[in-house]
Amino acid sequence: MFFSLVQPVIFVLLFAYVFGGAIPIAGTGASAEDAAHIYRNYLMPGIFGQTVAFAAVQSTVGIAEAMSTGLIDRFRSLPMASGAVLIGRTFADALRQVLVLLVLSITGLLVGWRITGGFWNAVGAYLLLLLFAYAVSWVGAAIGLVMPNVETASTAGLIWLFPLTFLSNAFVPLSSMPTWLQPIAAYNPVSTLVLATRELFGNPTGIQPNFWPLNNPVMYTIGSCVLIIAIFATLSIRRYTKTTAK
């Protein structure tokens, strides 16, 4: 838990103070001296998005550890639904992000980030982040169930998250990417999550390429989360039921 709190804070400080002034945000009309301040407001929703995406790692490692240590065998003797363990685990991993987001928000306020979109819009942004954390936790659970040990689960749980988060608008505008890469990044749910939270928080969004997900970021993000949960919850529960039945 400690490292899940410290790592995103380090990202905030690194990007805000080391790279911030070197990454202009098109469409803001900012002078050179204001560029760093504007980038910090642009950055924070990106850090939020990356952080909740990495919540999947906790589910992957936690499930793999429970499978390898025999904890799951103890649950088999209890009168509970087959998917209760997975539902509880993924929900707990998503709920843990409340503390992480709180620490990140305080850090953001200290470096100059501000919410200007109104109270209820901000509440909606945080709820959207938690929904996404819950969705990717099911992906993490599905991966953890097929891993032979915790060490392999740690690697497998991370390897898919790096392209997911960095091929997005979390840190740089999509308009700065090569033309052939922009559609891939635009349909990445991390991109729409980050864009939606920027709009809800009232932070700079920059100039967006004309793609449907970017024109409807909240709708696309919610739809993506529902689809991810439907697919990976089904796969995870089936795998769990099959494994524990042996």
Distance CA 224, CA 46 (A): 18
Q: What is the pLDDT of residues 191-238, one digit of tens each?
A: 999 999 999 999 999 888 999 999 999 999 999 999 999 999 999 999
Region 20-42 average pLDDT: 64
Centroid of chain to Cα 81 = 28
Radius of gyration of the chain (CA): 19
Torsion of CA 200, 206, 207, 208, to 10 degrees: -50
- pLDDT given for residue 39 in this prediction: 84
In the block, tokens 């504007």 appear at: 38
State the average pLDDT over residues 83-104: 91
Instruction: Determine how many CB atoms are found less than 10 A away from the CB of residue 244.
Output: 14
Q: What is the pLDDT of residue 3?
A: 61
Please tell me which residue, 115 or 3, carries the higher pLDDT value: 115
Is 58 exposed, middle or buried (CB count within 10 Å of its CB: 0-12, 13-18, 19+)? buried
pLDDT of residue 13: 81
Q: pLDDT band for 143, please (50, 70, 90 cuts).
A: very high
Confidence at 175, pLDDT banded by 50, 70, 90: confident
Query: For the residues 49-71, what does the mean pLDDT come to?
Result: 87
**pLDDT-based confidence at 20, cuts 50/70/90?**
low
Instruction: Read off the pLDDT of residues 99-110 as tens digits, 9 standing for 90 and up.
Output: 999 999 999 999
What is the per-residue pLDDT for 23? Answer: 62
Percentage of the chain surpassing pLDDT 70? 84
Cβ contact 195:205 at 8 Å: yes
Query: How much is the mean pLDDT over the chain?
Result: 87
Is residue 142 pLDDT above 90, yes or no? yes
